[in-house]
Amino acid sequence: MPYILSLDEGTTSARAALYDQQARRVSMAAVPIVSHFPQPGWVEQDASLIWTSQLQAVRNTLGLAAVTPNDVHAIGITNQRETTVVWDRATGQPVAPAIVWQCRRTAARCRDLSAHAAKITRKSGLVVDAYFSGTKIEWILDNVDGARAKAVNGDLLFGNIDTWLIWNLTGGRVHVTDPTNASRTMLMNLATGDWDSELLSLLNVPRAMLPAIVPSSAVIGHTDAAIIGAEIPIAGIAGDQQAALAGQACFAKGLSKNTYGTGCFALLHAGATEPVSENRLLATRAASTTKEAQFAVEGSIFIAGAAVQWLRDKLGIIDNAPESEMIAMSIPSTAGVYVVPAFVGLGAPHWDAEARAEITGLTLGSGRAEIVRATLESMAYQTRELIQAMEGDSGARLAELRVDGGAAANNFLMQFQADILDRPVVRPADLETTALGAAFLAGLATGFWKSEAEVQSFWRAERVFEPQMPTSERDTLWSGWQRAVAKARSNC
Ligand code: ADP
């Protein structure tokens, strides 16, 4: 029986999942990925370990389902976006650690680019920020001995994690990316879908090192049989958030989702017209299953579930993330305590690289439960900021919010989200929408599934959280949050 294999390389783990003809997940395996923090605000990962961990996850998921590589009809790939790898074309060895999307090392460089900010936003759809790959590539070329000269000669290659995995899966034969990933580099012209010469020269990135931009849903190469055991078509590529949009069956204008993972990302499908945000959201590419370009508006929050990891790993006040739900529900409110998780600055809609995290409103009565609950609530408050900005741009009120990602399993958080947003929150049966979306793109490209309509028929809601909070309470909590954010922003 044939399957679609999805590779989902996230910030905290490399996962692989197998889907059958009815888009049921038959197996899934994850291998953890470790981040390193060599300086305040810096975040790195080992690119070679990302690849070997991903390969291990593939082997594990095939083994769990007792499926051989020959049974895999096609592969879809989705990945943590913006994370930057530069490697030697001849040896395949990375020349530096992967610079992770959260890394702020190029914040000063981005301030220097402010004179060009309007042009960069107009062309790329992005707000100038250290988040995106462009200044990360420039940093590697400027800080690794001899790298710039080699890159100009085409001896070094750049890739986000999709490109890096495909290069390795194909034994170094295919160097490509897709428009959803390319639209996060600050180097692609959002309208044309091609690398932009002016942006390349502004950021000093040689064209010779860039991958070819290929469609998100098409056969772009085959795996090397020596590596994975069969020559399998690679037929889907999308950055994780655009994959989740597809996995939530949001293929048309006006549909939206919010993912609660390491960060939090709300995307609103904008159809075939390039959007322009008046509220400091990003314009980006959505994964298209046809030749026509598709766009989305995006709100990106850098720290969401990562703040829960911080409670576990740095404060040591929880043993595991799921436990946070019970602790939060053990008290009726935080009694005025707010956590603003600006550990790496604030993303949309503030874009404040200098803001720093804060716990405010502490009294002698505040303890572990208040801090845990306030941390969970911070994800919901930040999401409301994004949804308000989106609604300000589009002029339309969202009817409901479709949710996914690891922290969407938290029932307290989902109910609080519905309450603070005053909108129903809809959680699908399969929370792994990122992996599912990449599978959809590969399955649609290879005839495994026939149409978007067929794929949409697989989507099922598991639970709807209806808003229950009185308006006065919602308004009071919201004003408190806004005051707390103002304090975190004045820290610089
Ligand atoms: P990513 O794809 O970014 O690696 P995931 O979607 O796997 O992330 O989500 C993992 C994140 O969600 C972690 O940061 C973790 O702390 C958080 N998380 C997982 N389960 C829960 C939960 N039940 N409650 C709150 N946070 C959770």
Q: What HEC string does 315-363 produce? A: HCCCCCCCHHHHHHHCCCCCCCCEEECCECEECCCCCECCCCCEEECCC
* DSSP codes, 174-225: --EE-HHHHTTTT-EETTTTEE-HHHHHHTT--GGGSPEE--SEEEEEE--H
Cα of 375 vs centre of ligand 1, distance in Å, is 13
Question: Nearest Cα to 361, choosing from 481, 472, 474?
Answer: 481
What residue ranges line ligand 1, CB within 6 angstroms?
A: 10-13, 261-262, 305-306, 308-309, 321-322, 324-325, 405-407, 409-410
Task: Kindly give the parts of the chain with pLDDT less than 50.
Answer: none
Cα of 163 vs centre of ligand 1, distance in Å, is 25
Cα of 430 vs centre of ligand 1, distance in Å, is 15
Cα of 96 vs centre of ligand 1, distance in Å, is 27
Q: What is the pLDDT of residues 403-436, one digit of tens each?
A: 999 999 999 999 999 999 999 999 998 888 999 9
| pLDDT at residue 333, rounded to an integer | 97
Amino acid making up residue 355 = A
Length of the chain: 492
State the closest ligand 1 atom to the C-alpha of 33, by its place in the atom list counted from 1. Answer: 4
Say if CB 95 and CB 88 are below 8 A apart: yes
Residue 146 is given by DSSP the state T
> What are the helix and strand counts (H, E) for the chain?
17, 23
Cα of 304 vs centre of ligand 1, distance in Å, is 8
With the most atoms of ligand 1 within 8 angstroms of its CB, the residue from 8, 13, 161, 308 to mutate is 308
* Torsion sign, CA atoms 367, 372, 375, 381: negative
Residue 6, CA atoms < 13 Å, CB-side half-sphere: 35
Q: What is the pLDDT of residues 322-373, one digit of tens each?
A: 999 999 999 999 999 999 999 988 988 998 888 999 999 999 999 999 999 9
Residue nearest to atom 17 of ligand 1 (CA): 305
d(CA 376, CA 304) in angstroms, rounded, equals 8
* DSSP codes, 39-55: STT--EE-HHHHHHHHH
Say if CB 223 and CB 232 are below 8 A apart: yes
Cα of 379 vs centre of ligand 1, distance in Å, is 12
Say if CB 356 and CB 40 are below 8 A apart: no
Question: What is the model's pTM?
Answer: 0.88
Say if CB 15 and CB 53 are below 8 A apart: no
State the closest ligand 1 atom to the C-alpha of 431, by its place in the atom list counted from 1. Answer: 6
Beta strands at 176-177 and 212-213: parallel, antiparallel or unpaired: parallel
* Torsion sign, CA atoms 484, 488, 491, 492: negative
Residue nearest to atom 26 of ligand 1 (CA): 407
Long-range contacts at 480-483 (CB < 8 A, ≥ 24 apart): 480/336, 480/338, 480/361, 481/338, 481/381, 483/360
**Number of other CB atoms surrounding residue 461 within 10 Å:** 11
Amino acid making up residue 352 = D
| pLDDT at residue 348, rounded to an integer | 87
Say if CB 325 and CB 416 are below 8 A apart: no
Both tokens of 452, joined, read 């978007």
Query: Which residue bears the tokens 């595991």?
Result: 320
With the most atoms of ligand 1 within 8 angstroms of its CB, the residue from 6, 7, 11, 12 to mutate is 12
* DSSP codes, 396-455: ---S-EEEESGGGG-HHHHHHHHHHHTS-EEEES---HHHHHHHHHHHHHTTSS--HHHH
Question: Nearest Cα to 162, choosing from 149, 148, 178?
Answer: 178
Return the ∠ at Cα 131 (arms to 486 and 80), rounded to 5°. 120
Extended strands (E) in 134-179: 156-159, 176-177
| pLDDT at residue 491, rounded to an integer | 59
d(CA 483, CA 293) in angstroms, rounded, equals 40
Describe the crossing of helices 47-65 and 161-169 by its angle, rounded to 10 degrees. 60
For residue 144, what are the β-bridge partners? none
All domains of the chain in start order, with CATH: 3-241 (3.30.420.40)
Cα of 268 vs centre of ligand 1, distance in Å, is 22
| pLDDT at residue 207, rounded to an integer | 96
* DSSP codes, 243-264: HHHHHTT--STT-EEEEESSSE
